Chain A
Amino acid sequence: MAATAIEPRQESAAAATGPVLEANNLRKSFGGIQAVDDVSFTLGQREILGMVGDNGAGKSTLIKIITGAYRKDSGEVSLDGEPVEIESTAHARSLGMETVYQSSGLVEVMDAPANLFLGREKLKEGWLGRYFGMIDKRFMREETSRLLQQLNITVRNLAAPVQTLSGGQQQSVAVGRAAYWKGRIIILDEPANNIGVDQQRAVLELVRQIRDEHGISFIMISHNMEHIFQVADRVIVMRNGRKVGDKPIGETTRNEVVGLITGALA
C-alpha cells in the first residue's frame, strides 16, 4: 500500500455518468406520523447534494431508511442503476455507503484508532488473530496517523479518548473514517452542528477536499443555508416528510430555499 491511507477512487472517475444513487417513492411512518412521504431523488457522481428542511421534516429518517438503519415501508433504492434491498447499516456499508450520523457516531471514551476501526477492527496476521481474535493495534495506529495527516488533522496524542479532541476534530475523524473505508457515497447528517464556526468551515473544507481528491459523492444534511451554498452542487428541500424542492445550487437563491423550507413558496 502506498503512503496514503485513502486510495484515490480510480474507477469512479472513468465510470459512466449516471447517478450513483437513486431513490424512488420512499415512505416511512411511525405510528400515525408519516415521517417520509413518497420521496424520490438522485445523487450524481462526485456530487455534493445538500438536504435542508425544518426540524422534524424527515431528513434523518430519509437517510436512515436509505442506509438500512430503519426499515422502509415502501419504495425502492438503486445503486448504479441496480435495485438493492438494504437490510442493515452493515449491508449499506458493504455497498459503499458510509454515514456520519447526527450524533453518536464515535465512542467518545475510546481513542481515534479504535474509532476509525470501530466494528471493523484489523486482526493480527497468523494464529493470534485467527484463533484469539487479537487485533493489530500497531497497524490501526499507523493507518490512523496517516489518515489524519492526509486530512491535515493534528491530534497530539493518538491514545487519548476522542472526547479530549475538539468538536471539530471529532467530526473530522468521523468524516475521515467514512472516507477511509472507501465509501463511494458519504452521508453526513448535520456534520457542522454543535461545533465552533471556524471548525465548521474546516469540516466543510474537508468534505470538498475528499470529493475533489477521491471522487466520492456526498449527501449533506444541514440546517445552515451558508453551508449548503458553500459546498453543495444541488439542494433538495424536505418539508413534512415530502420533498418540496430540488434545484442545482446555481439556479436558486437562499431566499427561495428558505421559502420552500417554511412553506411560504409551496
Chain B
Amino acid sequence: MSTAVSPQRNGGARDRAPEGSWRNLLRLHPDTGVLLSSLAILAVLIIVFSFTSEQFFSTTVLVNILNQMAIYIIAGVGMTLVMTSGGIDISIGSIIGVTATLMGILLIDAGVPALLAVLGALVVGAICGAFNGFLVAVVRVPPIIVTLGTFTLFRGIAYMLGEGRVYMRFAEPLPWLGDGRILAVPVPVYIALLTVIGGQFFLTSTRLGQRITAVGGNEEAARLAGIDVVRTKFLTYVIMGSLAGLTTVVIVARQDAAQAVMGTGIELHVIAAVILGGTSLFGGRGLILGTVLGALILGVLNTGLLLSGVVQFWQLVAIGILLIVVVALRIAREGTEGK
C-alpha cells in the first residue's frame, strides 16, 4: 500500500497542534481543561469563603448548598441538552409556574394522589417543551425569540389557572420529596444525582444524545449525514420541558406550597450554571458534569456571600459579573470555536 496519504508528515505549519506536553495531556480529553477550570473557580471560592466566614466550611453548610442547588442542577441538565443542540430556553421559569399551578390544582382541588400530580407535572412540562420545540424545530423561529414569547405566554397561563391562589399543605409523601432525608442526605440531592447520571449517560452514550451534539456542532453536516434535525431539536425541548416539570416537583415539595409565580427568574441561574460549567455557547459541546460544577459555584457564591454578611442583593451583581467574565475569558482563549 502506498504511503502517499500521510497528512501527519505533510501537515502544513498552519494545521499543526501547539506543542507542549501538558497541552497534549488535556488534548486527550478535550473537555478536561474546561472542567478543570470550573473546578478551579469552585475551589477558589470555597477557600475564600472559608476565610471570610467561620461557619462556611462545614458538612452542614455544604450539604445545604447541594440541597439548594438541586433544582438548578435538575433544570440545568435539560438546559445543557438544549444549549448543546445550539439553542436556549428562557421559558423554563414559566413552565415551572404552569406546572406548579397544575400540581396545586390536582392535589388540592382535585385531590389526586401525589404520584399522579407528579406525573401531571412531567407530562404538562413536556407539552410546554413540545410547543417550544415545534416553533424552534419546525417553524425555525430562533430559540431566544420563541422562548421569550412562551416566557410571557406560559406565565400568563399559570396566572390564569391559579387566579392568585396559593395551594398549601400537601399530604405525604409529597413533602417528603422536599425535606426527607436518606442517610442524612436530603431527597432532592438524590433526585438531582439521578438526573445527572441519566443526563450524562443520555448525552454521551446514546444515539439521540450524540445527535443532539452533532446538530449543535454543525447542523448542515448533521442534516447531510441523514440525521433528522427537526426531530432531534424537537425532542431536546420536550426533554427540557419535562425536566422543568421535575424541577417543579422538587420546588413544590420543598416549599409545601404551589403557586403561579414559582420559578420566576430561575432561567438566569440555570443558564449561568450551564455556561459556567463550560458547555459551549454555540452548541456542539455539552458538559453535564460541568453544569453540576457551575450550579455549585453559584450555590457557594450565594451561601458564602450570605454567611460573610454581604447584603443579599450583591448576589445578583456577583452572578452577572461572573457570567460575563468567565465567558469572555473562555472566548478569548478558544476563539469563537465551534461557531
Contact = CB atoms under 8 A, between A and B. Distances in A.
- Whether A and B are associated in the same complex: the answer reads yes
B10 A168 contact: yes
Given A107-B218, A135-B210, A163-B337, A157 B27 contact: yes
5 contacts: A69-B224, A106-B221, A110-B213, A137-B205, A160-B30
A120 B208 CA distance: 11
A149 to B, nearest CB: 10
Interface residues of A, number: 54
Nearest to B29: A159
Interface in A143-160: 150-157, 159-160
A206 interface: yes
Interface in A207-224: 209
Interface stretch (A11-19, A76-84, A196-204): A196-204
Given A168-B7, A209-B5, A104 B207 contact: no
Interface of B: 1-12, 14-17, 27-30, 201, 205-208, 210-211, 213-214, 217-218, 220-227, 280, 284-285, 337-338
Contacts of B29: 159
B80 to A, nearest CB: 15
A241 B338 CA distance: 34
B6 A109 contact: no
Contact of B214 (A110, A134, A135, A165): A110
Contacts of B206: 132-135
Nearest to B221: A104
Contacts of B221: 104-107, 118
B34 to A, nearest CB: 12
Nearest to B13: A196
A121 interface: yes
Contacts of A135: 205-207, 210
Contacts of B213: 107, 109-110, 114
A196 B1 contact: no
A198 B12 contact: yes
A169 interface: yes
Greatest chain B CB density within 10 A among A89, A202, A205 is at: A202
Contacts of A152: 1-6
B12 A118 contact: no
Contact of A108 (B8, B28, B217): B217
Contacts of A180: none
B27 A160 contact: yes
Closest 8 CB pairs of A and B: A166-B15, A119-B225, A205-B4, A109-B284, A154-B8, A107-B217, A198-B10, A90-B226
B284 to A, nearest CB: 4
A114 B210 contact: yes
A147 to B, nearest CB: 12
B227 to A, nearest CB: 4
A167 B10 CA distance: 11
B218 A104 contact: yes
Nearest to A174: B221
B19 to A, nearest CB: 12
Contact of A196 (B10, B30, B280): B10
A109 B287 CA distance: 13
Given A121-B207, A135-B210, A157-B28, A104 B15 contact: no
A133 B204 CA distance: 11
Contacts of B280: 109
Contacts of B208: 133
B309 to A, nearest CB: 44
A123 interface: yes
Contacts of A88: 226
B12 A196 contact: yes
Contacts of B211: 119, 121
B164 to A, nearest CB: 43
Contacts of B10: 168, 196, 198-199, 202
Contacts of B5: 151-153, 172, 202-203, 205-206, 209
Contacts of A169: 7-8, 11, 15
B32 to A, nearest CB: 10
A161 B28 CA distance: 10
Greatest chain A CB density within 10 A among B1, B213, B224 is at: B224
Contacts of B223: 89
Given A123-B207, A137-B205, 13 more contacts: A107-B214, A107-B218, A107-B222, A119-B225, A132-B201, A152-B6, A153-B8, A154-B9, A168-B15, A172-B5, A196-B10, A196-B15, A201-B4
Contacts of B220: 103-104
A142 to B, nearest CB: 16
Contacts of B227: 118-119
A106 B28 contact: no
A253 interface: no
A191 to B, nearest CB: 13
B205 A164 contact: no
